[in-house]
Structure 1
Amino acid sequence: MREISLPQGYSSLLSIYETQKAIGLLKRLFEDKLSGALRLHRVSAPLFVSADTGLNDDLNGVERPVSFDINGVKETAQVVHSLAKWKRMALKRYDFQPGEGLYTDMNAIRRDEELDALHSAYVDQWDWEKIITREDRNVAYLQQTVKAIVQALADTQYFLRSVFPQLSVLPRMSTEVTFVSSQELEDLYPALTPKERENAFVKDHPVTFLMGIGGKLHSGKPHDGRAPDYDDWDLNGDLLVWDSVNGQALELSSMGIRVSPESLDRQLTLAGCDARRDLPFHKQLLAGQLPYTMGGGIGQSRVSMFLLGKAHIGEVQCSMWDEANIQACKKAGVTLL
């Protein structure tokens, strides 16, 4: 049985029912803050899509989607991994204009996820996407958006602490964001693994946006995997915060400016995914028939963990766990929902 690391002497700041109330309040607050800051409108989104459309997210290219048949439907259905591509299609369908966007509750199953205190087979996110102009496809616009999201998170934390004073023992989330590229991180810590680099840097910079994920670094390896057909690898990143409960960097969001026809063409070739060019989504994008967009996913359970001071993601969501997680939580006094 593998070892699951949980903090010694941990005790939840909220009871189980208080946790449920806090999660409900947190989600309402943050949705309002996020939609107001980025001009987003709430829409409904699919739990599954046709496997033939190319709309499902391939993540690192090795994860197996949950597939099933539907009575009377010829196509095979796939439970989504994320909605990165679907959202871009939806923006065109809804005839949104530059500066406007959408957000939705995204629920997914990632059956191949390695389960631990931060990773579950069940994924819940605020997925958002907005239309931008070609001129907005730059680092400055990306960083401006990141700062708006961080402010929304900090405002949510501030209100939560007024309702649940026991949360005040947690560090206040800073609105100062440190921007660093994955290549700069590799140059700083060449002997460390990508996760070790994140921990070393974020410990001293508790709100960090790590930019440029997906392409190969000078070492010949990418910092982390990223599918070639949604984010532009030069204009994306992960929002990382310092998790004081677990003593490690915690990724709250993956986001970026999406691929243009030119960057999609380049990244498909670099990733060895040229066969995708014949899929409906990719054909439209390569032909310039989809709007320029930016977007991302913000983990609902991850944000809840961070703002409520939880040690295990199973304290803020219902999922299924292997024996290693169950025993580690029992030993540490962690109550899984």
Structure 2
Amino acid sequence: MIDNLFIPKGYRPLLDLKQTEHAITVIKDAFQSGLSSELRLRRVTAPLFVLKGTGINDDLNGTERPVTFPVKDLGDKEAEIVHSLAKWKRMVLTDYDIEPGFGIYTDMNAIRPDEVLDNTHSIYVDQWDWERSINKADRNIRFLKKIVKSIYEVLKRTEFILYEKYPQLTPLLPSKIHFIHSEELLQQYPNLSPKEREDAICKKYGAVFLTGIGGNLSNGEPHDGRAPDYDDWSTMAEDGYQGLNGDILLWNPVLEKAFEISSMGIRVDAEALLRQLDIKGCLYRKDFLFHRRLLNGDFPLSIGGGIGQSRLCMYFLRKAHIGEIQASIWSDEMRQICNEHNIPLV
């Protein structure tokens, strides 16, 4: 048995292959339409790759290797498959002259070869990346929570639309999403690991927005890693650091654990960028194209995030493995074990 593969006891898909493909379309159409309307976002076309060394690619935790390749007609300059579009979207807000209160969204497709393959992780990543211009007065936790609540309402509406078409998919989302800071979560569950703390709080509330991810907590460690140059996770408050970012986590009864569907946050301004680059020991990045433009005041203040498409479908359709939603690469052993336990990988 593969150590990182979870097999739900007695698992059987609630939808067959044809129903699953149709339901995926229903979810994606309903959710992106609702998200666009709720947050006032217009759709734009996104790149699959960017040039290496520009600082535009998302560095995630700073350790993941991007897929790179030489471009012959550019003198073999290296290009990188995007990890996400966290920084690129902010540049687009500038190029399109998007006013505060409005924004953009796009389909983001990526390859992350360093992912450990399991029920929820694939080397292929598909998500809705979105970004919205904001005013300086919006750079606070109250505004962040307002946007999270708006996204959560879209999730609930999408869940109901799907339920009307497939009554066997009984709605699970609670009426409200619970907010908690990662330091508060640590104090509640001091003897648990970060992932175990997420499991505990999500099982209790069903839907959670966990804030303050990236900066060190009172135990000297961050709850989880975050790149220093897009989310503002080190904003100062009267009682210390209070990050303006977080993850939307849902309790997944099939996998019996917390299930992340979105990472988002208010983006760094010039002050937060320099502070976080210093904390992470990478002030050299300030000379990259993206960082220079941000420090020069070229970009609007913004909020944004990514919402996993396959992840969202997996949750709503009660699937045990992301490979039931998307076509990717899996080991022969994983395919065999899944097949033996009624988990049909695409």
Separation of aligned partners in 1, 2:261 and 2:282 = 28
> Of the candidates 123, 134, 156, which is equivalent to residue 136 of structure 2?
134
Whether 2:329 is the aligned partner of 1:329: answer no
8 A Cα contact 1:147 1:175, kept in partner: no
Matches within 5 A, 1:11-160: 11-74=12-75, 75-160=77-162
Separation of aligned partners in 1, 2:141 and 2:294 = 22
* Alignment-mate amino acid for residue 185 of structure 2: L
8 A Cα contact 2:182 2:210, kept in partner: yes
8 A Cα contact 1:6 1:311, kept in partner: yes
Separation of aligned partners in 2, 1:46 and 1:90 = 11
For residue 192 of structure 1, report the CA deviation from its aligned partner.
0.8
For residue 252 of structure 1, what is the aligned residue in structure 2?
A: 261
* Alignment-mate amino acid for residue 150 of structure 2: A
Matches within 5 A, 1:186-201: 186-201=186-201
Stretches of structure 1 lacking an aligned partner (at least 5 in a row): none
For residue 164 of structure 1, report the CA deviation from its aligned partner.
1.2
For residue 166 of structure 1, what is the aligned residue in structure 2?
A: 168
The secondary structure found in structure 1 opposite 2:330 is coil
For residue 291 of structure 2, what is the aligned residue in structure 1?
A: 282
8 A Cα contact 1:150 1:175, kept in partner: no
* Alignment-mate amino acid for residue 148 of structure 2: V
Separation of aligned partners in 2, 1:136 and 1:162 = 37
For residue 324 of structure 1, report the CA deviation from its aligned partner.
4.3
Matches within 5 A, 1:224-303: 224-233=224-233, 234-303=243-312
For residue 326 of structure 1, report the CA deviation from its aligned partner.
1.8
Question: Once structures 1 and 2 are overlaid, which stretch shifts more, 182-191 or 35-44?
Answer: 182-191
Question: Once structures 1 and 2 are overlaid, which stretch shifts more, 139-148 or 321-330?
Answer: 321-330
8 A Cα contact 2:2 2:334, kept in partner: no
For residue 239 of structure 2, what is the aligned residue in structure 1?
A: none
TM-score by length of 1: 0.98
8 A Cα contact 1:209 1:237, kept in partner: yes
Separation of aligned partners in 1, 2:296 and 2:85 = 21
8 A Cα contact 1:48 1:78, kept in partner: yes
* Alignment-mate amino acid for residue 66 of structure 2: P
The secondary structure found in structure 2 opposite 1:202 is helix
For residue 238 of structure 2, what is the aligned residue in structure 1?
A: none
The secondary structure found in structure 1 opposite 2:27 is helix
* Alignment-mate amino acid for residue 285 of structure 2: R
C-alpha spacing 1:320/1:254, structure 2 compared with 1 (3 Å): same
Alignment RMSD: 1.0
8 A Cα contact 1:130 1:294, kept in partner: yes
Separation of aligned partners in 2, 1:59 and 1:105 = 18
* 1:176-231 C-alpha deviation (Å, 9 max, x unpaired): 01100000111111111100000011100111000000000111110000000000
8 A Cα contact 1:115 1:325, kept in partner: no
* Alignment-mate amino acid for residue 12 of structure 2: S
The secondary structure found in structure 2 opposite 1:53 is coil
For residue 237 of structure 2, what is the aligned residue in structure 1?
A: none
Separation of aligned partners in 2, 1:6 and 1:175 = 29
The secondary structure found in structure 1 opposite 2:109 is strand
Separation of aligned partners in 2, 1:281 and 1:175 = 40
For residue 175 of structure 1, report the CA deviation from its aligned partner.
3.4
For residue 262 of structure 1, report the CA deviation from its aligned partner.
0.4
The secondary structure found in structure 1 opposite 2:229 is coil
For residue 6 of structure 1, report the CA deviation from its aligned partner.
1.6
Separation of aligned partners in 1, 2:62 and 2:306 = 18
Separation of aligned partners in 1, 2:142 and 2:283 = 31
For residue 292 of structure 1, report the CA deviation from its aligned partner.
0.1
The secondary structure found in structure 1 opposite 2:305 is strand
> Sequence identity of aligned pairs in percent?
53
The secondary structure found in structure 1 opposite 2:244 is strand
* 1:131-179 C-alpha deviation (Å, 9 max, x unpaired): 00011000000000000101001100101111112212xx431230110
Stretches of structure 2 lacking an aligned partner (at least 5 in a row): 234-242
Separation of aligned partners in 2, 1:69 and 1:196 = 42
For residue 2 of structure 2, what is the aligned residue in structure 1?
A: 2
For residue 236 of structure 2, what is the aligned residue in structure 1?
A: none
